[in-house]
Amino acid sequence: MEDLVSSGAALSRASSASLGFSFTFTGFTPPPQDMMSSAELAPFSDDDVDLEAADTTRRKSLMAEPTLPIYLKTNMVNRASDGNFGKIGFVTQDDVLFTHLTVKETLTYAALLRLPRTMTREQKKERAMDIIYELGLERCQDTMIGGSFVRGVSGGERKRVCIGNEIIINPSLLFLDEPTSGLDSTTALRIVQLLHDIAETGKTVITTIHQPSSRLFHKFDKLILLGRGSLLYFGKTAEAMPYFSSIGCNPLIAMNPAEFLLDLANGNTNDVSVPSELDDKVHMENQNLQDTNSKINLRPSAQDVHEYLVDAYEHRVAYKEKKKLLAPLPISDDMKATITSSKREWGTNWCQQYSILFCRGLKERRHDYLSWMRITQVIATSIILGLLWWHSDPTTPKGLQDQAGLLFFIAVFWGFFPVFTAIFTFPQERAMLNKERAADMYKLSAYFLARTTSDLPLDLFLPVIFMVIVYFMAGLKASAMRFFLSMLTVFLSIIAAQGLGLAIGATLLDIKKATTLASVTVMTFMLAGGFFVKRVPPFISWLRYLSFNYHTYRLLLKVQYDPVPDILMTSVPLDNGVTEVGALVAMIIGYRVLAYLSLRRVKASNG
Q: For residue 176, which phi and psi values (nearest 5 degrees)?
A: -135, 130
pLDDT digits (tens, 9 = 90+) for 408-459: 999 999 999 999 999 999 999 999 999 999 888 999 999 999 999 999 988 8
pLDDT score for 320: 66
Examine the pLDDT at 6 and tell me if it is beyond 50. no
366/564: higher pLDDT: 366
Tens of pLDDT, residues 511-551: 999 999 999 999 999 999 888 887 788 888 899 999 999 99
| pLDDT at site 69 | 32
Domain boundary among 117, 143, 169: 169
- Quick: pLDDT tens for 113-150: 999 999 999 999 999 999 999 999 999 999 999 988 89
Where does a domain end: 169, 194, 215? 169
In the Cβ-directed half-sphere of 123, how many Cα atoms lie within 13 Å?
8
Q: Note whether residue 108 is domain-resident.
A: yes
427 prior amide bond cis, ω within 30? no
Which stretches of 148-292 are DSSP H helices?
155-167, 185-199, 214-217, 240-246, 257-265, 276-291
DSSP helix/strand/coil, 555: helix
Q: Domain for residue 155, yes or no?
A: yes
Domain annotation covers residue 463: yes
- Parallel, antiparallel, or unpaired: how do β-strands 204-208 and 20-22 relate? parallel
Q: Say how many domains are in the chain.
A: 2
Q: Which amino acid is at 321?
A: E
Kindly report the average pLDDT of the chain as a whole number. Answer: 81
* pLDDT exceeds 90 at position 73: no
Compute the CA torsion angle 481, 484, 487, 493 (nearest 10 deg). -70
Question: How far is the C-alpha of 503 from the C-alpha of 597, rounded, in Å?
Answer: 9
Query: Pairing state of beta strands 173-177 and 204-208?
Result: parallel
Q: Name the percent of the chain in helix, strand, coil, to the closest 5.
A: 55, 10, 35
In terms of pTM, does the model score above 0.85?
no
Is 117 part of a structural domain of the chain? yes
What is d(CA 209, CA 217) in angstroms, rounded to the nearest whole number? Answer: 9
Q: How many CB atoms lie within 10 A of CB 376?
A: 10
> Residues 550, 501, 513, CA angle at the centre, nearest 5°?
115
Domain that residue 119 falls in: 95-169
Number of C-beta neighbours around residue 236 at 10 A: 15
Q: Which of 144, 169, 194 is the last residue of a domain?
A: 169
Rounded Cα–Cα distance for residues 330 and 335 (Å): 10
- Which amino acid makes up residue 601? R
173-177 and 88-91 beta bridge pairing: parallel
Query: Would you say residue 457 lies in a domain?
Result: yes
Does residue 391 form part of some domain? yes
Residue 509 lies inside a defined structural domain of this protein:
yes
Residue 329 is assigned to a structural domain of this protein: no
**Cα 555 to chain centroid, rounded:** 41
The mean per-residue pLDDT over the stretch 26-54 comes to 31
